[in-house]
Structure 1
Amino acid sequence: MYSFAQRLDTKVFDEPLYAYYLRNSNAKAYHPGAKDILATMENDGNSVVDMMLKSNEKPVLFFKNMSHHLLNLDYSFMKQMTNVILTRDPLEMLPSFAKVIENPSLDDVGYKLHVDLIAYFETHQIKYVVLDGKNLLLNPEGVLRQLCEKIDIPFDHAMLSWAPSKREEDGIWEKYWYKSVHESSGFGVYESKSEIFPKHLNPLLLQCQSYYEQLKALALS
């Protein structure tokens, strides 16, 4: 989201379906800031989808959504979108996620839901692109150039860096989740995690790995 926000032709939206998801799941009991999110954002998922389809502020609109936020929605609206799936090795992603939500479930972290989305896209002939976080860090310009070509927009060098700060588009949950990106000024150098993997996440890791391997095989490099 921060990369696309640097483009002058682009407006970004940070997780517009978050309140809808919280309203319609038990996640409101364990997501930090849930009450504020529900009180300040649109709770009706169909209204959010309508907003996404009708927005026209800039030539490029970037909606950062989470796969679990699509809970029970009709996926057909995605035929009118350019769909990009971002994934990350669960060995690295799960410990980071668990610093905010200590005991996440398979649905919380999205790997199976991403694979299910791809099955839907392929069944309905909907184009999609998969990005892997490691590949993006190893070759940010190369991967972003490929991405821009596949989604039919020109590559912009501005996507490679930004000022370390918050953005006005950040959701009110930024104080729980965005510390690292607020301190960043671009895509960092990839480094393997040195922390010991938390034992309580091992069962979830086993659930995620086969789905991640499917996603990794489709990712731009």
Structure 2
Amino acid sequence: MKVLDEPFYGFYLSNADVKIQHPCHNEIVRTMPNDAALVLNQIRALSTSHHVFVKGMAHHYLSDAPEFILKWHNIILIRHPKKLLASFAKVIEHPTLDDIGIKKASEIFTYLTSEGKTSIVIDSDELLKDPSTYLKKICSLLQIPFFEAMLSWKKGGIPEDGVWAEHWYANVHNSEGFAVQRTSDQPLPEYLESVLAAALPYYNILKNHILKND
């Protein structure tokens, strides 16, 4: 298994009209491919001899119809926008709807469905109810083996982490397994209420299609 951490991030920052400053912006653009075709070539090359897990952000795929994902097994991970925004705002204080990706994730789901493709929608709250059972279901749908080692890990980062890891991955780097994040229980700043209201309809569309953990 080969793992790629947000391989389209450099492409996104180089080509999208990004209004906010992302941590490590210059380093990301300097060290990562700025052309989507180069990223796809990398993924294709790896896939000739390995399963490839691409951890991506929906809004990094700038096309309204990203045809390349039609050949992939697509998993869409969602989190309640209130929890997502509370966490996101700890790094980028004033995110917009486009910055958090839920709208784009909903659009990608609709696109895949319109093309007759099935995607697996998973919810972080469902996952945390019983990680073992949920991961077994996901692996079964993907036709890959489940291993107990998927449920725990050593503290600290991994070589595949992006250069932005120190800004975004502090909680996971300090963990050894699945757990509810404290950020989830923090009150949402009032200035983010309008973003929450805009995000909820897209979240609810995807919520109707989640893989249940029961």
Q: TM-score range by the shorter chain?
A: over 0.9
Output the CA distance in 2 between the equivalents of 1:204 and 1:86: 19
Pick the aligned partner of 1:54 from 27, 40, 45.
45
The 2-side partners of 1:29 and 1:159 are apart by 35
- Counterpart of 1:146 (choices 111, 123, 137) is 137
Structure 1 20/189 Cα, relative in aligned 2: closer, same or farther at 3 Å? closer
Counterpart of 1:183 in structure 2: which amino acid?
Answer: N
1:38 to 25, 29, 33: 29
Please give the per-residue CA displacement for 1:96-138, whole angstroms capped at 9, x wherever unaligned.
1011111111111111111111111011112210010111111
Unaligned runs of 5+ in 2: none
Q: Which runs of 5+ in 1 are unaligned?
A: 1-9
Match of 2:75, SS state, is strand
In structure 1, the residue matched to 2:56 is 65
Matches of residues 1-221 of structure 1 in structure 2 within 5 Å?
A: 10-27=1-18, 29-56=20-47, 59-72=50-63, 75-189=66-180, 193-221=184-212
Calculate the TM-score normalised by the size of structure 1.
0.90
1:25: how far off?
A: 1.9
Supply the distance in 1 between the matched residues of 2:197 and 2:99 (Cα, whole angstroms): 15
SS in 2 for 1:12: strand
Q: Distance in 1 between matches of 2:57 and 2:21?
A: 17
Q: Number of aligned residue pairs: give it.
A: 212
TM-score of the aligned structures, taking structure 2 as reference length:
0.93
CA contact (8 A) 2:79 2:124 kept: yes
Amino acid at match of 1:164: K
SS in 1 for 2:185: coil
CA deviation after TM superposition for structure 1 residue 194, in Å: 3.2
| Equivalent AA in structure 2 for residue 143 of structure 1 | Y
> What is the Cα-based RMSD across aligned positions, in Å?
1.8
